[in-house]
Structure 1
Amino acid sequence: MAKSRPVRGATLNRESRRFNLPEREADGDWLDDRETLDEGPQPLRTTVTVEKPRTIITRNTSPDVGFDRSINPYRGCEHGCIYCFARPTHAYHDLSPGLDFESRLFAKPDAAPLLRAELAKRGYVARPIAFGTNTDPYQPIESDWRITRACIEVLAETNHPLTITTKSDRVTRDIDLLAPMAAKGLAAVALSVTSLDPRIAMTLEPRAPAPERRLAAVRKLVAAGIPTFVSIAPVIPAITDHELEHLVERAAQAGATGVRFIPVRLPFEVAPLFRAWLETHFPDRAGKVMATIQSLRGGRDNDPDFFSRMRGQGPWADLLRTRFKIACRKHDMNHEHIMMRTDLFRPPAGPQGELFR
């Protein structure tokens, strides 16, 4: 059984199966010495590397997601959510989707200038830009780097619509920008709340704010007039699924605009990391959890197919959907559908922007 490292999600840092990534070896620094002497995992330092991309807007053509463009101010995520489907992307950097993903981060400080340049391009057509579709835009390093805020400032200036998905109450820091945008129909936020159990939340999402803080953030955002949803994602069989109805109830009590859920997904390298996590934290039910996940995913650890990957399949998926619908009816949820306005967009000020106004 792998040992859990303090305040980290993954218990492993093994190689990528797709990119033949070698396992990381000790490089002789003082942390390695501590681990050798103390015979146990030690706290892992977080490092941040500056990344210099050429563009900042990522586009997609996936038919089962509600946006065609997104911005990811950071690569990797210090929240350390063990189930995070973005973990495999770290393999492209010759880093492990395990502990490297949550401790060796990349920041894009030029994101706002790049965004300004892209919005000023001739022929640009505004559509909602999604934040938080890969890694969390309000993970701890945002407090210092403030890249997400800088991007929102550009979007606020140009009346460009945006959506934000986060696990952090740090999003409330930017209410001064988001509330005026929401008043124009340009902003909506989703807070992800996976479990209300402190023990489960601490192991699932070790560096994310506590669930009660996230629900408090929902109330604060709603009070500021910002459409705010609660995302119960992922629902994990035999770990968090028993909380589904209670989470819908708490979302309603917080005044959430709506609520949604997604069954757990375990793509690529995430599955072995998740299995190791189960053996460490829930060895008594690891087999049951994986068997149920496979029943949701057509007999596999993961179903990558469009539409079914977000919904699951089979009796377990049907039961979750039925329970969710009943809970939503009971608490009078999911009547509102938010439409983002695109007609207010104006290219950013500046030589190029003014030229095409």
Structure 2
Amino acid sequence: MLPKRNPDEVLKARGADTRPDGRFEPYRREREDDGWDIPEEERLLRTDVVTETPRSIIARNSSPDVPFDRSINPYRGCEHGCIYCFARPSHSYLGLSPGLDFETKITAKPTAPALLEREIARPSYKVAPIALGTNTDPYQPVEARLAIMPGILRVLRDWNHPVTLVTRGRTVLRDLDLWAELAAKDQAAVGVSVTTLDADLARAMEPRAPTPAVRLRMIRDLSRAGVPVRVMVAPVIPVLTEPEIEAILTAAREAGATTASMIPIRLPYEVAPLFRDWLQRHRPGMAAHIMNRVQAMRGGRDNDPRFGHRFRAQGHEAQLALQRFRLARKRLGYPEGSAPLDCSKFGPPPRAGDQLSLF
């Protein structure tokens, strides 16, 4: 059960409504009016950004659920505030709430470009595509001001290092020239997440993310610049967004998307109660139906955390949704896979005074 919300805070364009304690906290806090509180002036809850200086920037993983073994996340937390975000529990490791803290207390890593160059310059480094945006969006609103991503992309460009991106942030278009340079060498691919084409639903569910129309424009502009774009129909939420599978694929294809993928919603430990609360606040008449369908896809639970199962769904209805996706993908001319990125050119950039090659 979620705690009561703070009545003194004014929430504007936020996904969560409260601050439930993280799973690792030794105590649980609950607001209770005992009649002795002094009334406080209401205040607008704003985003707080702090900086971090990590010792390394490339994170490694061996999960069978994802197609990459290394990633970079320039930010902890995400101001987009998507209520279903599977990354929310990561704030618990910082002693913060996966609720409002996740979308209002952001940690930035401005030294990421320098750390990246230091790590890929090591003689022991073995090149493989680096994934960006695997936990939180590197093009969330604060990136427009801090501009960490251009530095990362310049390092990758100079070293001819392949990179992939998952985003829904419009600031990616600011760096269009860098993405185009990498794509011209077959070293970049971008995935744009489109959850729904309903602007009102998107506003409630992903309050500070760009509208569906803007995301389709992102696909169009990236594609016209020569960047391969994958539309990610994700997450697919039964009853709520599932009916839009074919419409999203069609709109993205018309905008220039070259590949497509679909991921059913997953609700890790702390995310499930937040999502249930959101349903009661925004879609109360559909809440029980949606959660029944979610559990039908996850073996009767809100989530299946097993490796190899986290991004997959089970059951007849899940298989029907997947079949619909595959049929629409084939009808619209999407290929089943995407071309591999080129790792063969990786190497240190030339420096002043270096001996030039004869060939």
Q: TM-score scaled by structure 2?
A: 0.91
Match of 2:16 in 1: 10
Cα RMSD of the aligned pairs, angstroms, is 2.2
Look up the equivalent residue of 1:19 and give its one-letter code.
Answer: E
> Structure 2: which 5+ residue stretches go unaligned?
33-38
Asked if the contact 1:69/1:128 (under 8 Å) is kept, the reply is: yes
Query: Pairwise mapping of residues 97-246 of structure 1 onto structure 2 (< 5 A)?
Result: 97-246=98-247
Q: Secondary structure at the match of 1:105?
A: strand
Asked if the contact 1:119/1:348 (under 8 Å) is kept, the reply is: no
Instruction: Note if 1:33 corresponds to 2:44.
Output: no
For 1:108 and 1:16, the matched residues in 2 are separated by 23
Asked if the contact 2:24/2:93 (under 8 Å) is kept, the reply is: no
Look up the equivalent residue of 2:262 and give its one-letter code.
Answer: F
Per the TM alignment, residue 21 of structure 1 is displaced from its structure 2 partner at its CA by: 5.8
For 1:49 and 1:123, the matched residues in 2 are separated by 33
Asked if the contact 1:120/1:348 (under 8 Å) is kept, the reply is: no
Alpha-carbon distance change, 20 to 283 in structure 1, aligned in 2, over 3 angstroms:
farther
Asked if the contact 1:76/1:102 (under 8 Å) is kept, the reply is: yes
Q: Give CA-to-partner distance per residue, 1:225-268, whole Å, 9 cap, x none.
A: 11011101101111111111100111111110111110000001
For 2:84 and 2:219, the matched residues in 1 are separated by 23
Alpha-carbon distance change, 336 to 63 in structure 1, aligned in 2, over 3 angstroms:
closer
Asked if the contact 1:12/1:276 (under 8 Å) is kept, the reply is: no
For 2:27 and 2:96, the matched residues in 1 are separated by 7
% identity of equivalent residues: 49
Look up the equivalent residue of 1:50 and give its one-letter code.
Answer: T
Q: Secondary structure at the match of 2:41?
A: helix
The structure in which a higher percent of residues are helix is 1
Deviates more, 1:46-55 or 1:335-344: 335-344
Look up the equivalent residue of 1:347 and give its one-letter code.
Answer: P
Query: Pairwise mapping of residues 250-261 of structure 1 onto structure 2 (< 5 A)?
Result: 250-261=251-262
Deviates more, 1:5-14 or 1:64-73: 5-14
Deviates more, 1:229-238 or 1:336-345: 336-345
Deviates more, 1:10-19 or 1:129-138: 10-19
Instruction: Note if 1:327 corresponds to 2:328.
Output: yes
Per the TM alignment, residue 161 of structure 1 is displaced from its structure 2 partner at its CA by: 0.3
Query: How many aligned positions are there?
Result: 343
Q: TM-score scaled by structure 1?
A: 0.91
Asked if the contact 1:259/1:333 (under 8 Å) is kept, the reply is: yes
For 1:343 and 1:325, the matched residues in 2 are separated by 32
> Structure 1: which 5+ residue stretches go unaligned?
27-31, 36-41
Asked if the contact 2:24/2:95 (under 8 Å) is kept, the reply is: no
Q: Secondary structure at the match of 2:263?
A: strand
Alpha-carbon distance change, 34 to 242 in structure 1, aligned in 2, over 3 angstroms:
farther
Look up the equivalent residue of 1:107 and give its one-letter code.
Answer: A
For 1:285 and 1:297, the matched residues in 2 are separated by 19
Asked if the contact 1:21/1:95 (under 8 Å) is kept, the reply is: no
Match of 1:19 in 2: 25
Per the TM alignment, residue 22 of structure 1 is displaced from its structure 2 partner at its CA by: 4.3
